[in-house]
Amino acid sequence: MLLNRLSRIVQVGSKITTSLQCYRQRTIPPTRNLCHAVNPNAALFQISDDRIQKYLERLRLEYYALKVQEQRTRKDIQRMLLLSNVVEMYEQRKIIVDNLSSLKELKDDRDDEMIQLLKEEREAYGSILFRLDSEILNGILSMDDEEDYGSLIMEVTAGVGGQEAMLFARELFDMYCGYVEYKGWDIEMLQTEDTDIGGTRHATTIINGPDAYRYLKNEGGVHRVQRIPATEKSGRIHTSTVTVSIIPRPDDFQIDLKEKDLKIETKRASGAGGQHVNTTDSAVRIVHLPTGIAVECQTERSQQKNREIAKQKLIAKLMQIELESRFSNTQALKKSQVGQSLRNEKIRTYNYNQDRITDHRIEGGTAHNLKGFLEGGEQLDEMIEKLRRSQRRKQLMDIINRECEQ
């Protein structure tokens, strides 16, 4: 009876050890109760903690509830895929814990050979348990319990700093366009106001792609740039700002712009542009009668092109208003992101003199190689992923603290 039980334990341990043999063996650290942590951000998560176990069990029940549903939405399927890996590892962990408990029942055996074998099995299980705990922790930190959206609206606006802020707004906008391409998402331009020297006052785009909102939502805020402008003769370093706002866009959302709701006026364009500008009715003004919102465009010589651009501007404004009405906290979200565009409200600093990028929201949030970072590729992705994990850690701590209060 004893040998049969031990044989079963060894077989289970061997099976799990084989699947995890690529991991390095380490000593299992002592458990720490998260609810007693003074600094939530510095708390060391332990999967063996009762609150974490309660959270994981809730995820397991959610997964199987979704699995038995006869009809599942696309969001349900995405959620299942998100939960499946964590739930599978959690169930493997439960098997290991049960097997360790079974080994403890045999600790009083006096046979030296058996005692040594049990010791080796306990050490093997302990190593596997540590590895599983590490993988489960990585899994739940990479998850996001907040609702995801199929697309988002990104606004990039020049803040404090005049022309220098507009130039950097263009660079930042190009960086995000590069990131969209890097991630394989789609981008649709809604509105852009460019300057004569290659800067951007304001740009609004729609970004579509799986997990695009989850990855970009933390990019909203004031981005500060410190550098010597090309027009600066004395070599002084200037500090300018650009604000980025991220607004979620539901899958079923669209704007129906009806011609009967539009009042379209044409007039002669004003400002520099030569004889053509002053003699042709190329400027277009559109008023949306139901809301009273008015937009103008005179950037192109063609009246038709100005009309199209003006409509895009109007759609962008109507879209923003509609989204803010759908999400009662969107206005507060946007305000919290962009603030007043002041230099001391920054979330990230781009220092050209030191070739440094620093995200002020995360510990160790400094990177170098500004040129590579602004390409919007791997370096930006690493920073965003680091920020996501930091935010997720705080989110998870909030969940655990609520568990502690119950």
Predicted local confidence at residue 95, as pLDDT: 92
Range of lowest pLDDT (166-170, 234-238, 337-341, 345-349): 337-341
pLDDT at 300 (0 to 100): 74
Confidence of residue 336 (pLDDT cuts 50, 70, 90): low
pLDDT in tens, 79-107: 898 899 999 999 999 999 988 888 777 66
Range of the domain at 299: 259-327
Both 291 and 369 in a single domain? no
Helix (H) or strand (E) holding 378: helix 378-405
Q: What is the mean pLDDT of the chain?
A: 78
Q: Point out the domain boundary residue: 303, 327, 351.
A: 327
Give the per-residue pLDDT at 73: 86
Q: Are residues 207 and 308 in the same domain?
A: no
By DSSP bridging, strand 346-351 and strand 293-297 are unpaired
Same structural domain, 239 and 350: yes
Which domain CATH number covers 200?
Answer: 3.30.70.1660
Q: Do 287 and 379 sit in the same domain of this protein?
A: no
Give the DSSP H or E segment for 207: strand 200-208
> Is 43 or 213 the better-scoring residue by pLDDT?
213
Indicate the pTM of the whole model: 0.65
Question: Is residue 15 very low, low, confident or very high in pLDDT (cuts 50, 70, 90)?
Answer: very low
Integer-rounded Cα radius of gyration of the chain: 28
The DSSP annotation for 104-132 comes to HTTTT---HHHHHHHHHHHHHHHHHHHHH
Backbone angles phi, psi at 14, to 5 degrees: -65, -40
pLDDT digits (tens, 9 = 90+) for 159-199: 999 999 999 999 999 999 999 999 999 998 877 888 888 99
More confident residue, 266 or 382: 382
* Domain identity same for 239 and 355: yes
User: What CATH number is given to the structural domain containing 296?
Assistant: 3.30.160.20
My answer on whether 346 and 220 are in the same domain is yes
The total of structural domains in the chain comes to 3
219 with 241, same domain: the answer is yes
